[in-house]
Structure 1
């Protein structure tokens, strides 16, 4: 890929022949006879290109198109450019690379269809059993409204296991089997942990899957900020930040869609009913019963 800075702005060319056709192009330039003027472009190829300096000709994959003060043009690799033209080349190449990055990032933001993404986010929020619904229905678990259940969920999330485990009094046969296997004597009563159900959609509660954080902050808030920004006045750092975010938008929307699907599976009455077996206080049990009754 070749990037050239022209009077019409940055352009891309694919053929090395286009470089060889540039005015004053010289494939055998003696750097001792010429003074570097500016960098006209850069290039990256899978196949190596021979350096245009007569004292080098080293093959390289990445380099620059440069012009001299007396009107010649040639190509040089980054290392040989620094070797033969020193600090001046390093300064010009860094400036050019920064200019290219800034121009590409600004173009990315100008081409970004903010209205289309805004519409997608609005639909994600407002649709039946969408982001707003998921956030509302998941919030009791995140706000510890059901302490016993939240404790169990926290353990399941930590281990990334969808197995709901309860602690129950071991039977006589279980105690005897443990004692025989481990050659120990256990106190009575003895308690064991037992898996009682597989809870689907647990991913909806993973910390990295916070639907409100994703939709309201990472998507909606950023869309509003970018809409209000003057792209022409953004700093290099802001352009870099926003261009990176724009390139990630599709994956963020896809992630939000997937989290909503997790929530729809998790927030089903039959899926949550096994948590009744954890016990808890009367008030907690009553509150949880009331909660799952309004789920389908």
Structure 2
């Protein structure tokens, strides 16, 4: 995204080639004897890195400023190089321009989104009318965060999976005689068939399955939280506001959230698809087996998780 000062506002330029085509623009400029006239543009989040216009630098970056020297030459420069070349004057001009450019960007985003608000409401309605319904799925995820609903054992297991990103489910199984003897040999113990048969059985942990997308329980991926905070509340505020009459502070705050609306819709759509897989009998089957097979799990915990498990598709 590229912004160039135009009177008291900004003009948006969509292509870096348009900057390079400017008559006085120099993609490489020796700034040793150049004095700063103005910082007239700002660019951010470009698809490709642009080499710094300072001849002694040339490092690639996707964010920087457009400057014009007193000799009338224009070039692009990063924040550090701009400060090194022009000092405090550049710092102040760049900071002021960036703030004004952000204000213009977010004000424009508010006005464009206000014009297209019906499209956003359609996207919201599509999510709400999904199968299974988003609200139902969100409530199931809330249940899975509550040990009173799914039992303490299942809650602790799912919490660990979500935090580590590891959905593997383990179950202790008795080692075969051959496995025990091999382990004894590897640990340099003598194998006595008679004593082996009378000794206590030894166990090994075996992966019996994997629960997919356990991170759906984390707040950063919680579809209920994301939908309420980043979609519903933002659309409500956008619908009520008049971009030309709200304060600059409100433009900056709401504008940033509106600017990200498209990205947040894509994010929640992706997380919704993963949550649909997460909250299924098939996905949680290994955990259900583990809960029921473990002797250390109380009957109450087994009963609670079994009741919850039966409600899943």
Q: Same fold per TM (> 0.5)?
A: yes
Cα distance in 2 for partners of 1:74, 1:102 equals 27
Match of 2:274 in 1: 262
Deviation at 1:143, TM superposition (A): 0.9
Cα distance in 1 for partners of 2:256, 2:305 equals 43
Q: Does 1:11 align with 2:11?
A: yes
Match of 1:25 in 2: none
Match of 2:299 in 1: 282
When the two chains are superposed, the root-mean-square deviation of aligned CA atoms in Å is: 4.2
Q: Does 1:235 align with 2:283?
A: no
Q: Residue 82 and residue 172 in structure 1: after superposition, are their counterparts in 2 closer, same or farther (change >3 A)? A: closer
Instruction: Choose the corresponding residue for 2:146, options 129, 143, 147.
Output: 143
TM-score normalized by the length of structure 2: 0.66
Q: Residue 2 and residue 174 in structure 1: after superposition, are their counterparts in 2 closer, same or farther (change >3 A)? A: closer
Cα distance in 1 for partners of 2:210, 2:20 equals 61
CA contact (8 A) 2:154 2:305 kept: no
Deviation at 1:295, TM superposition (A): 2.6
Cα distance in 2 for partners of 1:239, 1:277 equals 52
Q: Residue 154 and residue 16 in structure 1: after superposition, are their counterparts in 2 closer, same or farther (change >3 A)? A: closer
Does 176-185 or 115-124 show the bigger shift?
176-185
Deviation at 1:292, TM superposition (A): 2.6
Cα distance in 1 for partners of 2:268, 2:230 equals 10
Cα distance in 2 for partners of 1:42, 1:263 equals 43
Q: Does 1:124 align with 2:124?
A: no
Superposed counterparts of 1:100-249, under 5 Å = 100-112=101-113, 113-144=116-147, 145-183=150-188, 188-232=200-244, 233-235=246-248, 238-249=250-261
Which is higher, the Rg of structure 1 or of structure 2? 1
Deviation at 1:76, TM superposition (A): 6.0
CA contact (8 A) 1:131 1:215 kept: no
Cα distance in 2 for partners of 1:171, 1:196 equals 17
Secondary structure of the 2:212 match is coil
Cα distance in 2 for partners of 1:90, 1:160 equals 43
What number of residue pairs does the alignment pair up?
269
Q: Structure 1 regions of 5+ residues with no counterpart? A: 21-30, 51-56, 68-72
Secondary structure of the 1:271 match is helix
Deviation at 1:103, TM superposition (A): 1.7
